[in-house]
Amino acid sequence: MTGVRLQADKRFRRARVQPFPKRSFRMSGRAVRLLLALSVAAVGTYFGPELLRHAELLHVEHVVVTGNRRISSEEVQALLDRLHGANILEVDLEASRQELLKSGWVQTATLRRLLPATIEVAITEREPVGLFRMGTQLYLVDPAGTVIDEYQPQFADLRLPVIDGLETRDPRGSAVDRARTQLAARLMGALTARPDLEDLVSQIDVTDAADAVVLLSGDPTLLHLGDQRFVERLDRYLELAQALRSAVPEIDYVDLRYDKRVYVRPAGGGYTQ
């Protein structure tokens, strides 16, 4: 028996069908990291501020003070007591700076955060030029007329002259006259170049804002120096002092404000040229 091979009719050929690929839900490592980062950010945004607020690591433990010489670090620490234990990210540094400026010694102050738990404080102190007499009390005063502090024994090394005539009165009470303070400051500034004269000046009277009157240590003679050429006029007096005392044994004051003449008033009245 002979087999017959039937030829396939191309019109009815079935197309080869590819099976559908299986879907994969596997995520790439990059996508996983991105999703994790977004999750952490979302949690940090919601809980972060609260976590930082209560983080003990960020509580202020140290206040480091620099630039202070006369005001002690303990005094500065007391003025900044509110900082200790506070969250370093939340403390109001400007409010703390204003507290420091309440001290007469503090002219300027700068505060900055040093994470995690330190506040650095840099201070510039006022420089006193004399002892301002108010009633029976003496106070340190700076060139601008700012009363710095009451004079106390620990300031004895300053060797400052007593300045009279600074006090002025108005309806609000006593105050320091700025123009008279500036006259005293200019006088003391001029004397810094001559330490020998600076050490001699023990008292200054600036009741007249145009005439600084000086007393030297061990000499009861009042010296009228005016408002300029202070060193030159003091030198002139020291050159003439012995001759003046020979002519006038007891002198009330010597007026040195005039270039070519020196006026001497003897104790008891009258004038001598």
Bridge-based pairing state of the strands 263-266 and 251-255: antiparallel
CATH code assigned to 130-266: 3.40.50
**Nearest-CA neighbor of 165 among 173, 174, 176?**
176
Q: Name all contacts of 130-134 with Cβ < 8 Å and 24+ positions apart.
A: 130/160, 130/161, 130/162, 130/163, 130/184, 130/188, 130/204, 131/160, 131/161, 131/162, 131/163, 132/163, 132/166, 132/167, 132/176, 133/162, 133/163, 133/164, 133/166, 133/167, 134/167, 134/174
Number of H helices, E strands in the chain: 6, 14
CATH class of 56-125: alpha beta
Does residue 267 have a pLDDT over 90? no
Question: Which stretches of the chain are DSSP H helices?
Answer: 29-53, 73-79, 93-100, 178-191, 195-200, 230-247
pLDDT bucket at 57, cuts 50 / 70 / 90: confident
Note the pLDDT tens digit of each residue in 186-240.
999 999 899 999 999 999 999 999 999 999 999 999 999 999 999 999 999 999 9
CB 252 within 8 A of CB 236: no
pLDDT mean across residues, the chain: 83
Which residue ranges make up each domain of the chain? 56-125, 130-266
Longest dimension (CA), the chain: 174
Q: Once rounded to an integer, what is the mean pLDDT over residues 71-79? A: 92
Alpha carbon distance 182, 142 (integer Å): 9
Percent of residues, the chain, with pLDDT higher than 70 = 76
User: DSSP letters of 11-68?
Assistant: GGPPPPPPPPPPP--PPPHHHHHHHHHHHHHHHHHHHHHHHHHT-GGGB--EEEEES-
Select from 151, 132, 155 the least CA-distant residue to 70. Answer: 155
- Round to whole Å and give the CA distance between 103 and 126: 10
**Hey, how many other C-beta atoms are within 10 angstroms of the C-beta on 134?**
14
Q: What is the pLDDT of residue 58?
A: 84
Give the tens place of pLDDT for each residue, 110-146: 999 998 899 999 999 999 989 998 878 899 999 888 8
Is a pLDDT exceeding 80 seen at residue 32? no
pLDDT for position 20: 52
Residue 92 has φ and ψ, to the nearest 5°, of -90, 100
